[in-house]
Amino acid sequence: MWGQVTAEEFEQVKDQLSRRREAMLNRHAEELSALDSDVASIDTISSLVEDFAQKYRSSPPPQQPATLQQRQAPNQGMDPEPERDVIPDPGQDANPEPEQDVTPEHEARAAAAYHNLRRAMLGR
């Protein structure tokens, strides 16, 4: 059998392997590019979420309706105004939930959960 194999056949096999190798490298480059794009998208979303959370977490609390004492203070010395119930603004939640402190550990766990969910949704 070895007596029948020629140098030309070896060159043909080497050329075939070289073409297969080149095709495989091209596929890998395309896959890596797609993965890099996905990572960049996730990083962008993560950054936007962090910016949004930081912006609204550090904003001052919404103003509460003035109490009766606060309303009467500017009118001291004048005839007292009859007491009235404070009617909340319709756009304001009647029973707002207290703001919760978010620790760095909770943020890290939430970010990790988000990334795992995103990966699962993308099927990767």
Tens-digit pLDDT profile for the chain (124 aa)? 567 888 899 999 999 999 999 999 999 999 999 999 999 999 999 999 988 888 887 655 556 666 655 655 555 555 555 555 556 565 555 555 555 566 777 777 777 777 777 776 776 5
Give the angle subtended at the CA of 95 by the CAs of 89 and 98, to the nearest 5°: 115
- Which tokens in the block code for residue 95? 């029973």
- The pLDDT value given to residue 36: 94
- The pLDDT value given to residue 102: 65
Backbone angles phi, psi at 34, to 5 degrees: -65, -40
Handedness of CA 108, 113, 117, 122 (dihedral sign): positive
- The pLDDT value given to residue 26: 96
- H or E segment and range at residue 94: none
What distance in Å separates the CA atoms of residue 58 and residue 119, rounded to the nearest whole number? Answer: 30
State the pTM of this model: 0.39
Write the single-letter amino acid at 61: P
